[in-house]
Structure 1
Amino acid sequence: MTIAEKTSARRAPIAAGRMGVCKALAVTLLLSAPFGVQAKAVEPETYSPVAPTIDQARANILIARQLQFTHFRDMGISDELSGDVFDAYLSYLDGQRIYLTQSDIQALDKARNRLGPALKTGQLQPGFDIYNLVQKRIIERLEFALDTLDAGIGELDFSSDETILVDRSEAEWAPDTQALDTLWTKRIKNAVLAQRLSGADDDAIAETLRRRYEGQLKRANQARSEDAFQAYMNAFTGMWDPHTSYFSPRTSENFNINMSLSLEGIGAVLQADNEYTKVVRLVPGGPAAKQGQLKPADRIVSVAQEGEKPVNVIGWRLDEVVDLIRGPRNSVVTLEVVPASAADETLTKSISINRDEVKLEEQSASKDIIELDRNGETYSVGVITIPTFYADFRAMQAGDPNYKSTTRDVRKLISELKQSGVDGLVMDLRNNGGGALHEANDLVGLFIDTGPTVQIRNSNNEVQILKDEDASVAYDGPLVVLTNRMSASASEIFAGAIQDYGRGLVVGSQTFGKGTVQAVRPLNHGQLKITQSKFYRVSGGSTQHKGVIPDIEIPSRIDKTRIGEDALDRALPWDQIDAVPHTRYFDFSGIIDELRSRHEDRFATSPEFRLLQQEIDFLKEQRQRKTVSLNLDKRTTRQDQIETTRLTIANARRELRGEEPFESLEELDDWQDQQAADLDSTDDELDFVIREGGDIMADMLELDKRMASILTPQQIAAQADTP
């Protein structure tokens, strides 16, 4: 029996199950077979087309009304929007264009201009018809993959000069099923090659891939009406902005658990990303953040409980992946992920994380002191690291006078640093994803007399201004604020205010650009998270989309094309409203060029900066690869080059620290695993970005001695009108 015959036999019950759906679902697939296979005796599952419910139709009508009349973006449901929903929905269901053919697209295209009017009135069937067809095509592809594995990995040819496109999101749709067969054979070969290069034998590879495809096939056959509805609604809500989304009743439950911070797990925020579950950010102080290997934009392939085999979760619903990762504290979960830096989805790594609660004290601000020698003079610079903007609301509401919060903790740390006689202060907000808005407002107040801190504009163009009403100032000395691409929301409000007031310099990389505010509104069926307002700086510019641009830039390993508001589809744009009166404490224009010049000189001569740039260039080159070879010899050569570069960079970093180099990549990987497993290990040496922040501070003190007393009443009066 050929692959085509076998796959046809396995599909027979599926074809029968299609009767009575829509004509577009009755597309026959003809598969060509390069080699023979034996039939299995396993009775296949069948797919039952899903249908919308009355509750879903009512929820759809409520969502459409909320979007049109309460969202920050004023937009109606037009014919053009209908086509955009159609494209977004297909992208959500088949983002890599590996399931549908051009003939499928042509058949579905009849619905392109009908979705908008239908979504206004709760007519969900067109969206469900599309979902049902895609599910059937997914099942057909997975069955083909399993049949290919049954024929034997040894039948696959790795001697030709074939290549495979890494990202197919903008590729042409396959013209027919034969082209899809060729594509999927390449995908399987790519997966086999990646595992062979990792040292696995063909039997282990076949078992791993079979488990993966069988898991996806089982999930596809078990698709529910709620899966189709949530996917369709999120394609719809995403037309307004990427942070507006529909939560099914089950997803709502998980969202509420996360918001109450009562979840025991790994401390990571996850979201659906086509077939994958993607890491959005890590919770500061959480198990994953402390373990150190999981990174934003990593995609989860499988989840394994302690002592059990991994469960492949590609194609799973987000809530089911969350359930699998969640578990009792002190238990271990192992995630297999495609790293954000990987050249393609076949390059994975396993990360074991000890589940635990995210403790407030482990998110707390902390301090350090660095000493810098300049021309015979020593400068002492305090460093305060703020992982998140937090507040113990329960203790606050209970009237506890010693409740913890970012502002209260930082005030205390500043007092301790002042007692130590520091000459300047560096505030480290890198990787701080935000948190309590009032804490950002209060924290700004520690560094200014009184005044506005942020403006909030709603969909009716009404502007609310948050202010610091407390005239006391906790710190009146020179200030540097460190940011990176993962600094978001409340972090951007603080950094933007410090920059607008001329209160300090922002150093690092452009921030995330999350300048919108969402509210969760209940529906008859699930919840709607909707964007209702937007943040603006006191100077009038929004933090949305553009974020905060640093005064002095430091390169980052983070890929800005994949992480950040401006990397998201249909993100609300940057705009500007009127500025509000605010004091300008210092004009840096007289020294900023010299500060940048000194920084660049250090950058050019610092081995740590050169090493960082080498690593950035290496990662960028990896990400820019459009194709990968399916030739074993070429792939092996390429893999050797990658491993040599990784080892060279790691050993160069060890040499800077006076440590013995690794003799092999295996030794490096073992060391990284040991470091990650030892959650109590600490690195006493402050990272070089913090030290560069200290050097910039020392430059400021050298260039302008007035900075040592920047906030005297006389200077405030003299510089109040400085532009």
Structure 2
Amino acid sequence: MKMKVLIPLLAALLLCSNSYGKTIQKSDPEKDKLILYVLKSLLTRGHYVQKDLNDDFSEHVYDEFINSLDPSKRYFTQNDLKEFSQYKFQIDNQLKQSDISFYKLVYGRFLDKIGTAKETYKGLLKEPFNYSKKEDIDIDYDKVPFAKNETELLDYWRKQLKLQVISRIQDLEDQQAEKLKKDKNAAKKSFSDFEKEARQEVLKNMDDLYVRIEELENSDWYSTFLNSVVSGFDPHTSYMSPRIKSRFDQDMSGKLEGIGARLQREGMYTKVVELISGGPAWKQGDLETGDIILKVAQGDDEPLDIVGMRLDDAITFIKGKKGTEVRLTVKKKLDGSTKVIPIIRDIVELEETFVKSSVVEKNGKKYGIINLPKFYIDFNDTNQRNAASDMKREIERLKKENVEGLIVDLRNNGGGSLKTVIDIGGLFIDEGPIVQVKYRGEPANIKNDTDKSTHWDGPLVVMVNEMSASASEIFAAAMQDYGRGVIMGGKQTYGKGTVQNLLPLNYYVKKYPGDLGALKMTIQKFYRINGGSTQIEGVYSDIAMPDRYSYMEFGERDLDGALPWDSVEPAKYTKTSSYSNFGEVINDSKERINKNSKFVSINEYAKWLRKNQDDNTFSLNYKTYKKESEDRVKEAKKFNDIFKFKSNLTFSSPKYETSLFKKDTVLKDKRMAWHKNLKKDIYLDEALNVLSQLKMKNNYELVKK
């Protein structure tokens, strides 16, 4: 999609930069072969799909690895590919023998190319480009062929860097125009001034990028190759290095052990960018946003200088077990002074991961909104908080507020734990199946609600969008099949109907002393209780509301290698048919949406976005580029206000939470910001209209399935 400012080169490099490194790090060939052998054994025996390691599979690995290393076609030439192609249909045979000759050839050549990259971009950015030349660039790199030779490759570099410079020049000119509108006497710069400044900024961006590239290690490179192999089974199967596995565990549990600060690399330094509310650093009080961490000491040990250290390594020294002390030597943002700050590490909960709720009054009645960002669980300690127990507690709190209806917001919820979604589904029914899961070659296994009581039996609306996936789709599908709730949102959800299991490789090689990482492998498909799969299809909303993704290529159906849709026998369940006016409410909502000028405009905007999605060609003549850019901006202006909306409703926190605000002002600020956004949410506003109209049957009409 063409937008006013687009810097595809940097974005592409950042996306694939976890594959790069500065020089060939010392590798352990035996370890590399061992990891490959274990992965191959697990995949062929346990993956949901029985896959032959044949020439087709070999070709997939060949293409995937080369494209993952060089997605913007800036390193390899067709001459390189000619040499690589000797292995194109041999990789399957190599894998069977744990042979990594293909990997070593491509990896070594790529490192050679990376070694000359700095010289290339620095040389090209020394002098101005020819901005009057009539030429263009296609940034759809999936369709752009690899350069024929080194001369053409250099021209690829030139065009991509030129596009970045042109984009930045226009930005600078636009900024000056805005200043002159406010102050006619403001200093003016010439095109040549902006051109020089733009080249310097692009050069700095490239330098910063290659600093990060050079920090990466041999294991990062090898992980890229391994993922090229395992992705041949399906898009959701992946190899996790020990570092990535640690991040995954943290993400799934919503917790970490450490000081409770978000850090980022800034030049040679590690900078504090946020303190997590309620965390150890926040409680201690001396560490502040903007501070630079210079040294790290474990208790009374000698401090370690972390200036110039890669961020992941610095974080490793700063994090640590609950109850241990870390001493940070910090350069303070405010006065530049140096200070040693002792902090006792603790469990840090990432609040934005967890369930939160709000109360709103509409037409004299109270309603509750529960936002669930993820179906989280701590796999290492299932006694810790998880999405199901938190959801149950939040429902009970809202019942004390006397809410008469409930919205469960699963928009942008990418899924999580299968166990938690089964437990959460059970909160809304008396008993019965929630989902069916199936292993390769076996009949479907029905997963039932284990809690015989219903924790919420009132009106229910479930909000979803195109990014609601996996566990979100299980919950939405169950509520739809039971007739328990109204599903509202995009036309259909993401369409991920597969289940992955995390397998630590050391479990299968118990005597190996080092950490081998883990395999996230697709082991099951799940099915609705009505027998249909959510794979590819997702869950179709009862009430579809236009959004920016309505016409986009988006979701599981657009992934290469996605498993197909299929079905199994329906489970036996009792449909609640909870509402006496379900059809009437659906029709009323659809009429409101069709007549609402905002939704009509959003639908037109979605069509416009789709039209521009495939337009990936940019002029590199500055005057033409600027004219085309201005035309696009002018065209886009008619959509400027389509998402501007403000209801007359007031959202507030449940009473239990307001009592926490006196001690936790950060939490208070976050909730106030959330409530402000809820007030501007046109989708939530229509969901509340639907919720307020729903009428429960006095006695649920039981329809045996």
TM score, norm. by length of structure 2: 0.71
Q: 1:369 aligns with which of 360, 377, 396?
A: 360
CA pair 74-600 structure 1, distance change in 2 beyond 3 A: same
Tell me what 1:585 maps to.
Answer: 576
1:111 shift after superposition: 0.8
Question: Does structure 1 residue 386 correspond to structure 2 residue 344?
Answer: no
Question: Does structure 1 residue 448 correspond to structure 2 residue 433?
Answer: no
Question: Does structure 1 residue 480 correspond to structure 2 residue 461?
Answer: yes
Tell me what 1:297 maps to.
Answer: none
CA distance in 1, matches of 2:72, 2:256: 36
Q: 1:603 aligns with which of 576, 584, 593?
A: 593
CA distance in 2, matches of 1:486, 1:305: 33
Tell me what 1:123 maps to.
Answer: 99
Q: Is the 8 A contact 1:425 1:478 kept in 2?
A: yes
Tell me what 1:512 maps to.
Answer: 494
Tell me what 1:720 maps to.
Answer: 703
Equivalent runs, 1:118-517 vs 2, <5 Å: 118-150=94-126, 152-153=127-128, 156-199=129-172, 201-217=194-210, 224-259=217-252, 261-262=255-256, 358-360=349-351, 363-372=354-363, 381-390=367-376, 397=383, 405-416=389-400, 419-420=402-403, 422=404, 424-509=405-490, 510-515=492-497, 516-517=499-500
Q: 1:534 aligns with which of 525, 530, 539?
A: 525
Code of the residue aligned with 1:476 in structure 2: it is D
1:600 shift after superposition: 3.6
Tell me what 1:613 maps to.
Answer: 603
1:129 shift after superposition: 0.3
Q: Deviations over 1:1-51 (max 9, x none)?
A: xxxxxxxxxxxxxxxxxxxxxxxxxxxxxxxxxxxxxxxxxxxx9955976
1:366 shift after superposition: 0.8
Secondary structure at the counterpart of residue 61 of structure 1: helix
Code of the residue aligned with 1:365 in structure 2: it is K
CA distance in 2, matches of 1:213, 1:361: 33
Code of the residue aligned with 1:530 in structure 2: it is M
Secondary structure at the counterpart of residue 73 of structure 2: coil
Secondary structure at the counterpart of residue 262 of structure 1: strand
Secondary structure at the counterpart of residue 575 of structure 2: coil
Q: Is the 8 A contact 2:236 2:500 kept in 1?
A: no
1:596 shift after superposition: 5.0
1:395 shift after superposition: 9.5
| Higher mean C-alpha displacement, 552-561 vs 526-535 | 552-561
Code of the residue aligned with 1:465 in structure 2: it is I
Q: Is the 8 A contact 2:238 2:521 kept in 1?
A: yes
1:305 shift after superposition: 7.2
Code of the residue aligned with 1:371 in structure 2: it is K
Equivalent runs, 1:679-698 vs 2, <5 Å: 679=670, 681-682=672-673, 683-684=675-676, 685=679, 687-698=681-692
Q: 2:50 aligns with which of 74, 85, 91?
A: 74
Code of the residue aligned with 2:462 in structure 1: it is V
Secondary structure at the counterpart of residue 98 of structure 1: coil
Q: Deviations over 1:200-253 (max 9, x none)?
A: 834433333323434555666776442332111110011012222222344344
CA pair 128-86 structure 1, distance change in 2 beyond 3 A: same
Q: Percent identity?
A: 27
Secondary structure at the counterpart of residue 172 of structure 2: coil
CA pair 687-324 structure 1, distance change in 2 beyond 3 A: farther
1:100 shift after superposition: 1.7
Secondary structure at the counterpart of residue 198 of structure 1: helix
CA distance in 2, matches of 1:574, 1:322: 40
Code of the residue aligned with 1:206 in structure 2: it is R
Q: Is the 8 A contact 1:390 1:436 kept in 2?
A: yes
Code of the residue aligned with 1:632 in structure 2: it is Y
Q: Deviations over 1:122-157 (max 9, x none)?
A: 11122110121223234444422211112x12xx11
Tell me what 2:38 maps to.
Answer: 62
Tell me what 2:621 maps to.
Answer: 631
1:256 shift after superposition: 4.4
CA pair 553-65 structure 1, distance change in 2 beyond 3 A: same
1:57 shift after superposition: 0.9
CA pair 84-392 structure 1, distance change in 2 beyond 3 A: closer
Q: Is the 8 A contact 1:47 1:222 kept in 2?
A: no
Tell me what 1:574 maps to.
Answer: 565
Secondary structure at the counterpart of residue 383 of structure 1: strand
Secondary structure at the counterpart of residue 531 of structure 1: strand
CA distance in 1, matches of 2:261, 2:615: 32
Q: Is the 8 A contact 1:389 1:435 kept in 2?
A: yes
| Higher mean C-alpha displacement, 249-258 vs 128-137 | 249-258
Q: Is the 8 A contact 1:139 1:217 kept in 2?
A: no
Tell me what 1:341 maps to.
Answer: none
Secondary structure at the counterpart of residue 219 of structure 2: helix
CA distance in 2, matches of 1:249, 1:653: 42
Tell me what 2:697 maps to.
Answer: 709
CA distance in 1, matches of 2:577, 2:398: 21
CA distance in 1, matches of 2:534, 2:524: 12
CA distance in 2, matches of 1:645, 1:265: 48
Question: Does structure 1 residue 548 correspond to structure 2 residue 539?
Answer: yes
Secondary structure at the counterpart of residue 125 of structure 2: helix
Q: Is the 8 A contact 2:24 2:218 kept in 1?
A: no
Secondary structure at the counterpart of residue 400 of structure 2: helix
Q: Is the 8 A contact 1:365 1:409 kept in 2?
A: no
Q: Is the 8 A contact 1:50 1:224 kept in 2?
A: no
Secondary structure at the counterpart of residue 524 of structure 2: strand
Question: What residue ranges of structure 1 are gaps of 5+ in the alignment?
Answer: 1-44, 271-284, 288-303, 309-318, 333-355, 373-377, 659-676, 702-706
How big is the alpha-carbon RMSD for the aligned residues of Structure 1 and Structure 2? 4.2
CA pair 514-689 structure 1, distance change in 2 beyond 3 A: same
TM score, norm. by length of structure 1: 0.69
Q: Is the 8 A contact 2:432 2:573 kept in 1?
A: yes
Tell me what 1:20 maps to.
Answer: none
Q: Deviations over 1:693-722 (max 9, x none)?
A: 1223355x4xxxxx4226x2xx44xx323x
Secondary structure at the counterpart of residue 199 of structure 1: helix
Q: Deviations over 1:322-370 (max 9, x none)?
A: 56899989999xxxxxxxxxxxxxxxxxxxxxxx954448722313234
1:655 shift after superposition: 8.1
CA pair 394-131 structure 1, distance change in 2 beyond 3 A: closer
CA pair 249-382 structure 1, distance change in 2 beyond 3 A: closer
Q: Is the 8 A contact 1:85 1:235 kept in 2?
A: yes
Secondary structure at the counterpart of residue 518 of structure 1: strand
CA distance in 1, matches of 2:28, 2:35: 11
Secondary structure at the counterpart of residue 568 of structure 2: coil
1:478 shift after superposition: 3.3
CA pair 652-568 structure 1, distance change in 2 beyond 3 A: closer
Q: Is the 8 A contact 1:519 1:532 kept in 2?
A: no
CA pair 680-160 structure 1, distance change in 2 beyond 3 A: farther
Paired residue total: 573
1:82 shift after superposition: 1.0
1:511 shift after superposition: 1.8
Q: Deviations over 1:460-488 (max 9, x none)?
A: 52543221243322333333211112222
Q: 1:53 aligns with which of 25, 29, 46?
A: 29
1:193 shift after superposition: 0.8
